[in-house]
Amino acid sequence: MIRLELPYPPSVNRYYRNVGFKTLISREGRAYRITVCSILRRAGVKPMDGKLAVGLDLYPPDRRIRDVDNAQKAPLDALQHGGMFGNDNQIKKLLTVMRETVVPGGKVIICILPLDPSTVKDIEHEIAS
């Protein structure tokens, strides 16, 4: 299992910008990618193959109301861009938790592990527990 601490990501609402007929990653999104790539280099992570399970623990920077799904895109794309895995379509199980604890500046604790099909539980069981 790989465990990393990343900065709190920009919302998907701020991650992209429309310029004419093109949709581009915003300046904020590109800065986030650069930061994550630097963290991956310092951690010396190697690319992971096969199916993956990913957990995101989101610690927001303040008490504003946030949609948990808006915080998934930027870190997963940045991890792919940084070489953690070849493509984020390798992620077959994703659990994201928005924590109540506010952390100045915010942070994301991310855990990535190979997905062992024998340990995958039914999604309804996962939600209930």
Amino acid at 100: E
pLDDT of residue 4: 97
Query: Do 39 and 83 touch, CB atoms closer than 8 A?
Result: no
Write out pLDDT tens, residues 97-122: 999 999 999 999 999 999 876 656 65
76 contacts 89 by C-beta, under 8 angstroms: no
- Domains of the chain as residue ranges with CATH: 2-128 (3.30.1330.70)
* Beta-bridge partners for 17: 24
Please state, for a pLDDT cut of 70, what percent of the chain lies above it.
90
| % pLDDT > 90, the chain | 81
Predicted TM-score (pTM) above 0.75: yes
